[in-house]
């Protein structure tokens, strides 16, 4: 199983993709005023969950917490997604949470 690429590895393997990720995605899209970073994190987690992109979920879960989402809110979001993205996708997403 492949793990998610960190930024340094991505820059080494695909420098242009890393540049676009930083410049366009995180310095433009994520900073637009129409949605808050918290709202963008919820949307991103919903899309990643629905797509079954569990390799990207741990990083985005951490980022969502930095953007103000609590563990209880993340659990509720993934529970809600079970009905729209499917049970296996939601359970896989919940499995990415560091629940103590």
Q: Which residue ranges make up each domain of the chain?
A: 1-32, 36-100
Q: What is the pLDDT of residues 57-90, one digit of tens each?
A: 999 999 999 999 999 999 999 999 999 999 999 9
For CA atoms 35, 10, 91, 72, give the dihedral sign: negative
Domain 36-100 of CATH type 1.20.1290.10? yes
Mean pLDDT for all residues in the chain: 93
pLDDT tier, 1 (very low <50, low <70, confident <90, very high otherwise): very low
* CA 4 to chain centroid: 12
- In angstroms, the first-to-last Cα distance of the chain is 25
């Amino acid at each position: 199983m492949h793990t998610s690429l960190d930024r340094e590895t991505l820059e080494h393997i695909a420098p242009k993709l890393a540049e676009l990720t930083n410049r366009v995605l995180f310095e433009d899209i994520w900073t637009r005023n129409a949605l808050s970073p918290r709202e963008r994190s919820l949307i991103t987690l919903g899309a990643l969950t629905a797509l079954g992109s569990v390799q990207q979920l741990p990083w985005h879960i951490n980022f969502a917490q930095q953007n103000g989402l609590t563990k209880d809110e993340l659990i509720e979001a993934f529970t809600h997604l079970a009905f729209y993205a499917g049970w296996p996708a939601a359970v896989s997403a919940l499995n990415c949470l560091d629940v103590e």
